[in-house]
Amino acid sequence: MHMLGGVDEAGLGPLLGPLVVGGLLLTGPEGKSPWPSLRKTFCKKPRSRKDRRIRIDDSKRVKQGGRGMGELERSALTMWYATHGELPRTVADVLAASITPFEATRYPWYADAHHTSLPRWCDGDSLELDAHVARRELTRVGIDCIAFPFRVVDVGTFNALIRHHDNKSLAHFDATLSIIAAISRAAHGARKDELADVMCTLVVDRQGGRERYADLLGRAFRGTDVSTLSEGPKVSRYGLGSHTEIVFAENGESRAFPTAAASCLAKYVRELCIERLNAWFTKRQPGLKPTAGYYSDGRRFLGEIEDSSAIPMELLVRIR
């Protein structure tokens, strides 16, 4: 047996909306990639439009096309079910699972989250069936979903992190560390239960152009031995204690199934948040075109909204 984990984010570049960092920790047969083991039910890329397997890939690719939002929701929530044994019923159920709760009451667009039902973009009955089939297939091949954590870093918190670090990259890494720590705790708990000597490999999508992470990991995991195994322009590897290897890899979501699943989770949660923001503003200003929050369109959106005086810019717009 082996543990394989992954971490990825969605929403680092936009002007509006939260940054979300997701993670997944699996146990399974050592030396086997989940993609080929699960090819009956899951795929990295569908063979055709008729291929209805669940796609686990970079969230940007999963979300492409006219059915993209439904496919993204299906990917994220089938893995949610595999981990938790049930599907979330409302947006509030999802947001409540963030490992660091944020003050949703500061953001009026989340006020109706308890009344916003899921799924949002795919058929509920089909999703229930897919979720049961996916969990059964994971069990059949000996793969267990141990943890599926994520963190919603709302705009106010993200701005505070940037002020604290005076560096966007370090603010991003701060958020990523919280998910690495959550997966590390889950792996430790699994070892205490029944997997005492099982190694864990954690694949983290590369943080921009950074190649060296040893000092940052050492400061984050004080008292734990951090060893540098290799550092390079595409992959940097570190030992964390005696049973964990952390790999920072370019295109990590293409290298590791759990990193791709983490990408889908992070993107899905961010899309739920952006949908609530758009719904709140467009309800008050009919005809306002929704935004995905990225810089150019975010500036357009800010220029067109008529009544933002009740919302502090600190909670609406990122400073970087």
Instruction: Please write the tens of the pLDDT for every residue from 141-182.
Output: 999 999 999 999 999 999 999 999 999 999 999 999 999 999
User: Residue 84 and residue 206: Cα distance in Å, rounded?
Assistant: 28
Report yes or no on 82 lying in a domain: yes
How many structural domains comprise the chain? 1
Domain that holds residue 265: 9-170+254-273
Mean pLDDT of 105-132: 96
Contact 144, 29 (CB under 8 A): no
Report yes or no on 215 lying in a domain: no
Report yes or no on 121 lying in a domain: yes
> What contacts 291, CB < 8 A, 6 or more positions away?
16, 274, 278, 297, 298, 300, 301
Residue 38: count of CB within 10 angstroms of its CB: 22
Report yes or no on 94 lying in a domain: yes
Report yes or no on 3 lying in a domain: no
What pLDDT does 255 receive? 94
Lowest average pLDDT, out of 82-86, 195-199, 272-276, goes to 195-199
| Alpha-carbon distances, residue 145 vs 4, 34, 96 (angstroms) | 10, 12, 20
* Alpha-carbon Rg for the chain in angstroms: 19
Report yes or no on 148 lying in a domain: yes
Report yes or no on 210 lying in a domain: no
Report yes or no on 308 lying in a domain: no
**Residue 307: pLDDT band with limits 50, 70, 90:** confident
Average of per-residue pLDDT values in the chain: 95
List pLDDT tens digits, range 32-56.
899 999 999 999 999 998 999 999 9
Joined together, the tokens standing for residue 107 give 């953001």
